[in-house]
Amino acid sequence: MVIKLPLIITSVATAFVISGCSLEATDQEQQRVASPYQDIENTLTEKAQQDFFNHAKQCILGDPSLIDEIVLTYNSSLPVKDRPKVGLFLEDSFQEQLNAKGSKPYLYQTKMLTVMYENCLQKASSLKSKDYLQYFVTRAFVIARLSQHYYLEKDYLNGSYWQQRAINLVGLSQGNYILGREFVKNPKTLQMGADMLAFAATLNNQSAISYLNDYVIYQNIFDKLQEENNESANSRN
């Protein structure tokens, strides 16, 4: 069985590349960076997203003074288990701020805001500290859960964005295995997850082959028990 991957919209980050050695961007640079995103900014319906967008844009333009707040805000909409386990996130005070934020789940994990966030991290790593590079989203199972969330919301643009990131991160075989493991956990994405696992198995991914074998055994037992329960219920009637 071959999975039919949705059309992947590749991330466009080159508009954020800032040249020169000065710490402050020139007016010309600001215009060059800001212009392509003016229309996108207007599509953000949530004020919190708009504020995040503007803070990240200022960071990219050469003002990283709000970088810690940007890191805090972006990760506040991730489940606790999916947040980074490094740097600022090891500080109790930072954890308290995260919990106090109470952000709507996955509010900041859209493709556009993630591109803004990670370009800000890149800028801060050159202007302040290389430590900010550790806050990129790089854990494959976290990325798989992000993809599944957006597919469940029928947001195929963002779902396919994170799907492709998982594959780019760990490869086609392992990427489909990890995605499939997450997708089969929800009935609404079960078929998609099964297709991903089957595709990984065709690439000789042993973990996928083993998982599918175990899953088939489990399903056979479950189906048999369900059949016995139905027969028992019918006999009582």
Q: Map out the domains of the chain as residue ranges.
A: 14-137, 158-237
Q: What is the pLDDT of residues 164-214, one digit of tens each?
A: 999 999 999 999 999 999 999 999 999 899 999 999 999 999 999 999 888
**Distance of CA 208 to CAs 32, 78, 166, 204, 231, Å?**
46, 27, 16, 8, 34
pLDDT level of residue 25 (50, 70, 90 thresholds): very low
Q: What is the pLDDT of residue 200?
A: 96
More confident residue, 90 or 40: 90
- Do residues 161 and 140 make contact, with C-beta atoms less than 8 angstroms apart? no
231, pLDDT greater than 90 = no
Mean model confidence pLDDT for the chain: 82
Q: What is the pLDDT of residue 43?
A: 73
Q: What is the pTM of this model?
A: 0.76
Instruction: Give the 3-state secondary structure of 93-150.
Output: HHHHHHHHHCCCCCCCCCHHHHHHHHHHHHHHHHHCCHHHHHHCCCCHHHHHHHHHHH
Whole-number Å distance between alpha carbons of 216 and 202: 16
Q: Which of the 8 DSSP states describes residue 82?
A: G
37, pLDDT greater than 80 = no
pLDDT level of residue 6 (50, 70, 90 thresholds): very low
% of the chain residues with pLDDT over 70: 74
**Distance of CA 32 to CAs 17, 53, 81, 110, Å?**
10, 16, 38, 23
Q: Which two tokens stand for residue 11?
A: 């991330």
Q: What is the pLDDT of residue 22?
A: 40
Q: What is the pLDDT of residues 125-156, one digit of tens each?
A: 999 999 999 999 999 999 999 999 999 999 99
112, pLDDT greater than 60 = yes
8, pLDDT greater than 90 = no
More confident residue, 223 or 205: 205
